[in-house]
Amino acid sequence: MAEAMLAADGTSLKRSLARALRRQKLRALMLIAPLLIFVLITFIVPIGSMLFRSVENEMVGNTLPYTVEALADWDADESPLPPEDAFQAMFFDMFLAAEAKRHTRLGTRLNYETTGLSSLFRQSGRQLDDVADISYEPLEDLDEAWDEGETWYALMNTREVADDALMAQQRARVAALTDNETNGEVNFAPDAEVAVLLPLAAREYTAWAVYVATQDGRDPATRDPWEAVAPALLLDLQTADLSGYSGPEADKLRTAQAANLPVANFVDAFVDMDEDWGTQTPWETIQTHSSTYTGGYFLNAVDAQKTADGVAWQPENKQILITLFVRTIWMSLLIMGSCILLGYPIAWLLANLPMRKANLLLILVLLPFWTSLLVRTSAWKVMLQQQGVINDVLVWIGLVADDGRLIMINNQFGTIVSMTHILLPFMILPMYSVMQTIQPSYLRAAKSLGATNWTAFWRVYFPQSVPGIGAGSILVFILAIGYYITPEIVGGTKGVFISNRIAYHISSSLNWGLAAALGTILLAAVLVLYWAYDKIVGIDNVKLG
């Protein structure tokens, strides 16, 4: 057609149709809206944010922003230790983090990568004040005014021009560190002239002011700043040219500069705190994991790790997750297989019995559904344990000696048996609904054409029931691969699944990033299998009812 079709009023027919359908679509959307919103809020958003944690790695950069910057150019192969700048940046970063009590959290995070960093951070956090005091005490001795918050406030606060950029920067720094709002009123703004003259001191003082005002709700004008401003000031004074400065406290600054007060050597100070700071390990770990997004959790999830030299396997004694993944998939396949073998005859019977008997049988199939999962699993514990029902019967019959009772629980056998039982209805029901649609006349036709009972079943009935097997298998496999409660209760150590490990990292080790990565891999594995199934069998052939 050369021209577009026009509706009676001359507008495009397509647009006309779209307008007519819009109301219908809108109404349909409104009908599903409550559920959609519910699912979005309670399901999709939490899952999305949880999955996001598997790559999210802002904590290092948020807690140690200046250290990460200073370490950017450091090459561990060329110089044994990072430059002193890095130690200095580390001091100021850590000082703020320790005051905000965030340094231990970072220690825990880095401990996932390198064991020992957690205690290193915790212990070092306590000693930072001592390092600051190396500068603070002489300054105070020189002029007691430095011990007064008012002195510092007068020096730092705006007179003519405020350094808004520095203020915004420090607000963001504190916000990133504490995960809290920092937009509140501070009653302070760094003076632009001082910020140029004494950059480090201005930075640290501003950070402190933002912190006390927004996090503690105090007025910085009346409070004494943290000791860390002293080393910052003395470092600035080593190079500052005060000749042109005539603002407040100019005399005190000149006196302090002339006194040439001591500043700690940060490298020595850190090594004094803990000799581990004198090795490459902590610095390399920080450098390696400083990016905002990381594949590190995914590497951990497959028993690998990120090192300064690239990707490497975890040490042998920490490798467990690949084994668990393989075991989870292998056991899920076994469970799926035994469900098919046990479920197919039942489904066939259900589909071919007269209505009344089929309904009775269906109730028997569904009965387990109405019993709590925990009860069923516990029942299996009673059945399978060494002093349990099955062993007792076997001993009583004489098949098994009393001292040779079978171990059927807290291993893979127990997990497979109880999960097969629990998941069986999920296999039977889709099979049943497919088999119900296969008319008996197909089998009759096959037999009338000369096929034996077996040939008629295998060549005519079975191929038509495959969609049911497929649907049941997908359902059982996907449920099995993420099963948690049953392996936890009857699985012991050899029969646990990857989901038990995820639960461990969520609730015990609190390594949520790794848990999220494991979950993401599990989800991806299911999707890949689903896709493969679609390619091979065709998802249109799957009938769930």
Partner 1 sequence: MADIATDQAFVEFERVQKSYDGEVLVVKDLNLSMPKGEFLTMLGPSGSGKTTCLMMLAGFETATHGDIRLDGVSINNIPPHKRGIGMVFQNYALFPHMTVAENLSFPLEVRKIGKSDREEKVMRALGMVQMQDFAGRRPAQLSGGQQQRIALARALVFEPELVLMDEPLGALDKQLRETLQFEITRLAHDLGITTVYVTHDQTEALTMSDRVAVFDDGRIQQLAPPDALYEEPQNSFVAQFIGENNTLLGIIEKIKGDTCEVRLDDGSIIDAKPINVTEVGQRTRVSIRPERVEMDKTRLNPDAHTLKAEVLEFIYMGDIFRTRLRVAGNDDFVIKTRNAPDQIRLTPGTVVDIGWMAQDCRALDA
Does position 355 interact with partner 1 (CB under 8 A)? The reply is no
Query: Considering the complex, what minimum distance in angstroms separates the CB of residue 385 from partner 1?
Result: 47
Amino acid at 149: G
Q: Site for partner 1 (CB under 8 A): how many residues?
A: 19
Q: Which contacts of 125-133 are long-range, i.e. CB under 8 A and separated by 24 or more positions?
A: 125/94, 125/97, 125/98, 126/98, 127/273, 128/91, 128/94, 128/95, 128/98, 128/228, 129/227, 131/91, 131/231, 131/264, 131/266, 131/269, 131/273, 132/95, 132/226, 132/227, 132/228, 132/230, 132/231, 133/227
113-121, 252-260, 376-384, 454-462 -> range binding partner 1 (CB under 8 A): 454-462
Query: Considering the complex, what minimum distance in angstroms separates the CB of residue 299 from partner 1?
Result: 46
Closer Cβ to partner 1, 23 or 356, answer by number = 356
DSSP 171: H
Query: Considering the complex, what minimum distance in angstroms separates the CB of residue 490 from partner 1?
Result: 40
Closer Cβ to partner 1, 22 or 444, answer by number = 444
Query: Considering the complex, what minimum distance in angstroms separates the CB of residue 453 from partner 1?
Result: 8
In the window 480-519, what residues touch partner 1 (CB under 8 A)? Answer: none
Backbone angles phi, psi at 412, to 5 degrees: -65, -35
Nearest in space to 306 (alpha carbons), one of 110, 116, 118, 498: 110
SS (H, E, C) 329-367: HHHHHHHHHHHHHHHHHHHHHHHHCCHHHHHHHHHHHHH
Closer Cβ to partner 1, 244 or 450, answer by number = 450
Per-residue contact flags (x/-) with partner 1 for residues 430 to 449, judged by CB under 8 A: ---------x-xx-xxxxxx
In the window 455-474, what residues touch partner 1 (CB under 8 A)? Answer: 455-456, 459-460, 463-464
- Measured in residues, the chain has a length of 545
Query: Considering the complex, what minimum distance in angstroms separates the CB of residue 376 from partner 1?
Result: 37
DSSP 77: T
Among 40, 123, 452, 524, binds partner 1 (CB under 8 A): 452
Q: Which contacts of 201-204 are long-range, i.e. CB under 8 A and separated by 24 or more positions?
A: 201/156, 201/229, 201/232, 201/233, 201/235, 201/236, 202/156, 202/163, 202/166, 203/92, 203/166, 203/170, 203/232, 204/92, 204/95, 204/96, 204/228, 204/229, 204/232
Query: Considering the complex, what minimum distance in angstroms separates the CB of residue 344 from partner 1?
Result: 17
Closer Cβ to partner 1, 371 or 437, answer by number = 437
Query: Considering the complex, what minimum distance in angstroms separates the CB of residue 463 from partner 1?
Result: 5
Query: Considering the complex, what minimum distance in angstroms separates the CB of residue 348 from partner 1?
Result: 17
- CB–CB of 119/107 below 8 Å? yes
Does position 450 interact with partner 1 (CB under 8 A)? The reply is yes
Relative orientation angle of helices 512-536 and 462-481, to the nearest 10 degrees: 170
Does position 354 interact with partner 1 (CB under 8 A)? The reply is no
> CA-CA distance, 210 to 176, in Å (whole number)?
13
Does position 451 interact with partner 1 (CB under 8 A)? The reply is yes
In the window 363-392, what residues touch partner 1 (CB under 8 A)? Answer: none
Query: Considering the complex, what minimum distance in angstroms separates the CB of residue 443 from partner 1?
Result: 9
Closer Cβ to partner 1, 441 or 493, answer by number = 441
Closer Cβ to partner 1, 279 or 455, answer by number = 455
Does position 258 interact with partner 1 (CB under 8 A)? The reply is no
Residues near partner 1, by CB under 8 A: 439, 441-442, 444-453, 455-456, 459-460, 463-464
